[in-house]
Amino acid sequence: MFSRISWQSLFSLLIFGFMYLPILVLGVYSVNQSPNSAQWSGFTLDWYIKFFNDSRILSALSDSLTVAFCAVGISAVVGTLMAVGLARYQFPGKNLYQGTAYLPMIIPDIAIAVATLVFLAVIAVPLSLWTIVAAHGVFCLSYVAFVVSTRLVNLNPHLEEAALDLGATPYQALVRVLLPELMPAIVSGCLLAFVLSMDDFLISSFTAGGGATTLPIEIFSRIRTSVRPDINALSIVLMLVSGGAAVLAEVIRDRSEKKRFR
């Protein structure tokens, strides 16, 4: 038994090392004083200061934040309403619609990017920052709806009926009874969608117009020739922010679950 556990622990250690060792190496070279990432010449934090003063990086970050906040805001409203409608109401073609609504979660990004570009070309919509917002809203919508729907499954379906029996209007039952119960799931889904939108490269690159450059596109344009320490530093900051958002979403979900079962 001890031998088996030891081998399992060793295998797990190797797997985690394979996944996270490149991140550790990236972090080490992000504080490398040499402009060449292939050799170590001393410790410095100048590269972190440099990319914070880079106007192109800041402009790309501004575009990425605009896209992420707009896409998440749209998906939060539409995704929540879609999840509630699928969970609470019956209508013709519901199963087909439900399966189609979650397709962006399983379809490869390259397929979504090509399909979106073809669709925009057919309807003659010029590419811009707002076409990126529309494209991101499609897959963010699916993630928010999926997280909210998992919360709806565990809720008492008679809560709204009780509120209606006590004199509340359908709108009041939705806003004052159902939405407070769904809020942890909505916030968790929005944080997940925000991280996915900030990290997306393929869909953004296919739907970006002239003058619209998100942060992943800017990073890719700089690493085609060589990887510089300032890009390493930027990558570390992005991973910390993305990881923090993912952890925060998980903490909110866990706390809501524990509070519900008390």
63-119, pLDDT tens digit by residue? Answer: 999 999 999 999 999 999 888 888 877 888 888 888 888 888 888 889 999 999 999
Is the pLDDT confidence value at 252 over 60? yes
Fill in the amino acid letter for 34: S
- The share of the chain scoring above pLDDT 90, in percent, equals 17
Q: Contact, 252 vs 189, CB < 8 A?
A: no
Q: Each residue of 144-185: pLDDT tens digit? A: 998 888 888 777 777 777 887 777 787 788 778 888 888 888
User: Of the given ranges (40-49, 124-133, 223-232, 249-258), which has the lowest mean pLDDT?
Assistant: 249-258
> In this predicted structure, what is the pLDDT of residue 262?
57
Average pLDDT over residues 25-42: 77
Q: How is residue 155 annotated by DSSP?
A: S
Q: Which helix (H) or strand (E) holds 171?
A: helix 170-172
Do 67 and 136 meet the contact criterion of CB atoms below 8 Å apart? yes
Is the domain 55-261 a CATH 1.20.210.10 member?
A: no
What pLDDT, on the 0 to 100 scale, is given for residue 5?
A: 59
Q: Rounded to the nearest 10 degrees, what angle do helices 94-101 and 129-153 cross at?
A: 120
Say what the pTM is.
Answer: 0.80
Q: How far apart are CA 148 and CA 125, in angstroms?
A: 32
Residue 198: left (phi > 0), alpha (psi -120 to 50), or beta?
A: alpha
Least confident of 103-107, 206-210, 228-232: 228-232
Query: Alpha-carbon distance 136 to 76, whole Å?
Result: 12
Instruction: Report domain extents, the chain.
Output: 55-261
pLDDT value of residue 261: 53
DSSP secondary structure letters along 8-49: HHHHHHHHHHHHHHHHHHHHHHTTBSSSSTTS---B--HHHH
Spatial separation of the C-alpha atoms in residues 138 and 111, rounded to whole Å: 13
* 8 A C-beta contact, residue 208 and residue 127: yes
